[in-house]
Amino acid sequence: MTKTMIGFWVMACALGVAALAAESDDTPMRRTTGEEDAKALGVGRVVPDMAIEPMGGAATSFVKLLGGRKGIAICMTSAECPLAIRYGPRVAGIEDEYAKRGIAFVFVNCVDAEKAAEMQAMIRLVGFDGPYVADRQHAVRRALDARTTTEVFVLDAARTLVYRGAVDDQYGVGVAQDAPKRQYLREALDAVIAGKKPAVQATYAPGCVLDRERATTKPADALTYYGRVAHIMAAKCVSCHRQGGVAPFSLETMESVKGRVQMIEAVVRDRLMPPGHVLKQEAGKPNPWTNDPALSEEDRAAMLAWLQSERPAGNRADGPVIPPLSGTWLIGDPDLIVATPPLVLPVNGPLQYGRFVVPTGVDEEKWISAVEFRPMERDTVHHALVWILPPGATYPALDAMPTDLELLGVFSPAQGVIRYAPGTARKLPAGSLLVVDLYARPMGRAKGSRLRVAMRFAAEPPVSVVSSLVVTERDVKITPGEWHFEQRITFTVNEAMVMRSVMPYMRSRGKSVEIAIGWPDGREELIFLAERYDFRWPIRYERGEGLPISAGMHISVGCAWDNSKGHLSNPDPEATVEMGPRAQDEAFMAVFEVEKAR
pLDDT, residue 51, reads 93
Per-residue pLDDT of the chain (598 residues; tens, 9 = 90+): 333 333 333 333 333 333 333 344 556 788 899 999 999 999 999 999 999 999 988 899 999 999 999 999 999 999 999 999 999 999 999 999 999 999 999 999 999 999 999 999 999 999 999 999 999 999 999 999 999 999 999 999 999 999 999 999 999 988 888 889 999 999 999 999 999 999 999 999 999 999 888 888 877 778 999 999 999 999 999 888 888 778 888 899 999 999 999 999 999 999 989 988 989 887 778 889 999 999 999 999 999 999 999 999 999 999 998 887 767 899 999 999 999 999 999 998 889 999 999 999 999 999 999 999 999 987 889 999 999 999 999 999 999 999 999 999 999 988 999 999 999 999 999 999 999 999 999 988 888 999 999 999 999 999 999 999 999 999 999 999 999 999 999 999 999 999 999 999 999 999 999 999 998 888 999 999 999 999 989 999 999 899 999 999 999 999 999 999 999 888 889 999 999 999 999 999 999 999 999 8
**Ranges of each domain in the chain:** 3-194, 225-318, 328-462, 468-598
Contact 418, 370 (CB under 8 A): yes
SS3 track for 39-54: CCCCCCCECCCCEECC
The class (CATH top level) of 328-462 is mainly beta
Smallest Cα–Cα separation from 560: which of 504, 503, 516, 493?
Answer: 504
Amino acid at 105: F
CB atoms within 10 A of CB 403: 21
Q: How far apart are CA 144 and CA 15, in angstroms?
A: 9
The predicted pLDDT at position 12 comes to 34
Closest CA to 27 of 247, 270, 325: 270
Residue 455 forms beta bridges with which residues?
336, 371
Helix (H, G, I), strand (E, B) or coil at 379: coil
The pLDDT value recorded for residue 27 is 67
3-state SS of 299-336 is HHHHHHHHHCECCCCCCHHHCCCCCCCCCCCCCCCCCE
- Cα–Cα distances in angstroms (integers) from residue 93 to residues 86, 444, 507, in the given order: 12, 10, 32
The radius of gyration of the chain from alpha carbons, rounded to an integer in Å, stands at 26
**DSSP-assigned states of every residue in 558-593:** EEEE--STTSTT-S-TTS-EEB-SSTTSB--EEEEE
306 and 233 Cβ atoms separated by less than 8 Å: no
User: For residues 330 and 324, what is the distance between their CA atoms, to the nearest angstrom?
Assistant: 11
| pTM tops 0.85 | yes
Say yes or no: do domains 328-462 and 468-598 share a fold. Answer: yes
What does the alpha-carbon distance between residue 177 and residue 45 come to, in Å, rounded to a whole number? 33
Phi, psi of 342 (to 5 degrees): -75, 140
CATH number of the structural domain 3-194: 3.40.30.10
Are 87 and 107 in contact, with CB atoms under 8 Å apart?
no
The pLDDT, as a whole number, for residue 26 is 59
Q: Say how many C-beta atoms besides its own lie within 10 A of residue 57's C-beta.
A: 12
Q: Which amino acid is at 292?
A: D
For residues 501 and 592, is the Cβ–Cβ distance under 8 A? Answer: yes
Name the nearest CA neighbour of 534 among 569, 573, 482: 569
Q: What is the CATH number of domain 468-598?
A: 2.60.120.230
User: Could you give the residue ranges of the DSSP H alpha helices within 100-161?
Assistant: 116-126, 139-144
